[in-house]
A and B are shown apart, each in its own frame.
Chain A
Amino acid sequence: MSEVLLDVRGLEAGYGHSRVLFGIDLQVPVAGVTALLGANGAGKTTTLRALCGMVRRQGQVTFAGRRIDTFATEDIVRLGVAHVPDGRGTFAGLSAEENLRMGACTRTDKAGVREDFERLYEYFPRLKERRHQQAGTLSGGEQQMLAIARALMLRPRLLLMDEPSFGLAPNVVQDIFRIMRRVRDEQRVAILLVEQNAGLALDLADTAYLLETGRIVLHGPAAAVRNNEAVHAAYLGGEIA
């Protein structure tokens, strides 16, 4: 087991009076992809929100050896945690390029930011073509690419991704996952990937956690999770190939 970047113990969270998470334990290593799977309403999005302080939470969250469970969202981000949120969070009225510049707005290394612009435009040539276009007018797939690129502009150590495949055509999803594979292999970044599409996520992930109604019910290497019969029946739709 490689070094742990994010260590979560007994994480609880909820909205108002309704609790969604009931004590989650989770580890994300410094490199590679960790998948967080589960059905609609299991608490996947809430987990990501709780990790970066967007909802009220309790429990221990340690990032790079530092307790962050009382930190404000913007301070967690400044430690190097980027979030591709549910619904993409596009700045619709800004241009695509301004969206990317916002991703790097806390950075002071101008040369590094310029480099990252180049690199991300190479990953996402469509964004380069449309960099002066108002972001709200981009297609769903382009906005998802923009959300990922914006998060990477932070040069994060940890990238939280919330359902990058949501609402997109299959060929666009394939495009995005191809690029995510490159990101995984070429960037020094750990990824915590939330997906409803378990097959897709397990292809990319090294380890996986399965969330059911606010509790982790199963975790292990991606291959083992894939071959687990219960997972197979519930999330991968049928027979083991």
Chain B
Amino acid sequence: MNTLLPQLAAGLATGGIYASLALALVMVYRSTHHVNFAQGEMAMFCTFIASLLIEAGWPYWAAFAATVAIAFALGAAIEAVLIRRLRHAPVLSTVVVFVALLVILHSISGWLFGYAIRSFPSPFPEAGTGGGLVSAHQLGAVGMTLAMLLVVYLFFRHSPLGLQMRATAENPVSSRLVGVRVDRMLALGWGLAGAIGAVAGMMIAPVVFLDVHMMSGVLVYAFAAAVLGGIGSAPGAVIGGFIVGVLENLVGTYVVGAELKLTVALVLIIAVLVARPNGLFGKAVVVRV
């Protein structure tokens, strides 16, 4: 029984990491109603940029800020150049493009940065805290996720721009009719998702090491987290992330073993979609006519 507490803590720590990427998925979903399969690779690509900047002698936080800015620009550019053309395309075409984007970013990263596994620094001190249950980095990463959640929440709930983004996601035609520049809102949504994803990448890399495959597993967990929380809900995605992290650890340790951990996430995705498609916190929009 004395392994339960560490497992729980480790689950929460990895859950915080899944949550941060899930948050980026939610961002894209809320602005365009798409699920971006390439989100993880975008984050990986940006983490490589951060790594190059740090190797070039930049202080960590300067590299961090620059990477977030670059990720924002990259996300917005992908929307403006590629995704915009798919606005009237069937869902399946969109899915194919997202998968293609995943493969392209993956290959370009390998070509540019190589396939060697690199270490990536953590901004948080080495020394363990919290009674040795979790590392300072894990604690810091969870804190970072919660901080991003707070910012996203305040942005959507209380800023005029956030309101315009919510309105655009829901009804682009009506948004145009009140003067919203819909194209900019969509690019902004993608940009913010890119930025959040980059932060997620920089928090994940110290744990799993930096290489082109770093996101392949994480993305599935992030999907499970986002779907569990209700893919349109930011708080839902974060809570979903923690639940997935804990479940993965407990089920992996006590029930199925480490090899089948990823299956837990996939089973969870299917179970949620079958039993409760709106997730735990997603709201079904009720419309009277």
Contacts and interface: CB of A to CB of B under 8 A. Distances in A.
Interface of A: 52, 54, 72-74, 77-78, 82-83, 85, 89-94, 98, 101-103, 105-106, 134, 136-140, 143, 150, 154
B288 A77 contact: no
A54 B173 contact: yes
A93 B285 contact: yes
B186 interface: no
Given A74-B181, A89-B174, A106-B179, A136 B167 contact: no
Interface stretch (B5-13, B17-25, B158-166): B158-166
B170 A92 contact: yes
A94 B288 CA distance: 14
Interface of B: 160, 163-164, 166-167, 170-171, 173-182, 283, 285-289
Given A98-B163, A102-B163, A102-B167, A138 B288 contact: yes
A143 B176 CA distance: 18
What are the 4 closest A-B residue pairs judged by CB atoms, nearest first?
A89-B174, A106-B179, A77-B179, A136-B287
Given A94-B167, A102-B167, A105-B163, A140 B178 contact: no
A137 B176 CA distance: 23
A103 B178 contact: yes
Contacts of B283: 93
Contact of B285 (A77, A89, A92, A150): A92
B287 to A, nearest CB: 4
Given A91-B170, A91-B171, A136 B288 contact: yes
B288 A154 contact: no
Contacts of B285: 92-93, 134, 136
A66 to B, nearest CB: 16
Given A136-B286, A138-B288, A78 B179 contact: yes
Nearest to A80: B179
B164 A102 contact: yes
A73, A98, A140: residue with the most chain B Cβ atoms closer than 10 Å:
A73
A91 B287 CA distance: 10
B166 to A, nearest CB: 7
A1 B160 CA distance: 42
A219 to B, nearest CB: 26
Contacts of A92: 170-171, 285-287
Given A92-B285, A137-B286, A101 B174 contact: no
A150 B177 CA distance: 10
